[in-house]
Chains A and B, each alone.
Chain A
Amino acid sequence: MAESLTLTLHNDLGELVRVQSHVAAFLAGAGASADTLYLTRLAIEELTSNVIRHGYEHVGQHIYITIAPRPDAVDVVIEDDGRPFDPGSQSDRAAPASLDEAPTGGMGIGLVRGLVGATHYDRVDGRNRVTCRVPR
């Protein structure tokens, strides 16, 4: 079983391209399926972009992403030293009644919850720590 991968990025959306490239290569080496890669990309994209957009007032802080393959899942851990925020605290949206009511943003956490599963949140030593488990 492949060891874990830990990546550090600045709270800058442009960093996600680099991160996703590393994650894809790592998971390919670990024999992950296309669906597992898709869901892992989604979890990282949505949870990390949320931190970058809402967790900091200024650019320059750091976010740490760890990918740990297990026999039946891939654990994704995202840690940041931004403002306290539990993504699980967001409630699910109802389906829109019309196209005008359809959301154009704010869907990310709902997608992770619906496609990957529940996220687990801790606030430890001034850091947010969000964990989710992507099935293999």
Chain B
Amino acid sequence: MSELQTIDASDELSYVSLKGRLDIAGVDAVAMPLTVATVTRRKPTIVDMSAVEFLGSLGIGMLVRCAVSLQRTGARFVLFGCQPMVRKTLETSKVDAVLPIADTKDAALALLHAH
């Protein structure tokens, strides 16, 4: 299963972490909480992916939808800390061409404000 934790919900930033498997059941569990914690806040967002053990196509779709919705408000959505197979999955989907992915939290924060 999967879960979401909000780490920082300030005026400057939304910082959340995802945990577990983002398969069909996992996405069902966290899609709405992720939207509430990120998209509805309309802040620059970083997502700690280090505890995500599995990412399927539905999980990728969920992340893309959040990123697109935030982009429309002028805010960026950056993933960081992906485990190797999760990173490989994102690269295979080619979504990494347009969805920012960083190795560390500091690099993610830097990407949030890069032009």
Q: Decide: A115 near B98, CB < 8 A? Known: A16-B23, A107-B60.
A: no
Which of the candidate stretches A34-42, A57-65, A77-85, A123-131 sits at the interface with the other chain? A34-42
Closest to B56 in A: A45
Chain B residues within 8 Å of A41, by CB: 21, 23, 54, 56
* A84-136 interface with B by 8 A CB criterion: 93-108, 110-111, 114-115
Q: Is the CB of B56 within 8 A of A102?
A: no
Q: Looking at the complex, which one of B24, B57, B64, B65 makes contact with A111 (CB distance below 8 Å)?
A: B57
User: Which of A16, A95, A101 has the most B CB atoms < 10 Å from its CB?
Assistant: A95
Q: Decide: A111 near B61, CB < 8 A? Known: A45-B24, A45-B56.
A: no
Closest to A38 in B: B85
Chain B nearest CB from A47 CB (Å) reads 11
Closest to A113 in B: B92
Residues of A within 8 A of B (CB): 13, 16-17, 20, 34-35, 38-39, 41-42, 45-46, 49, 93-108, 110-111, 114-115
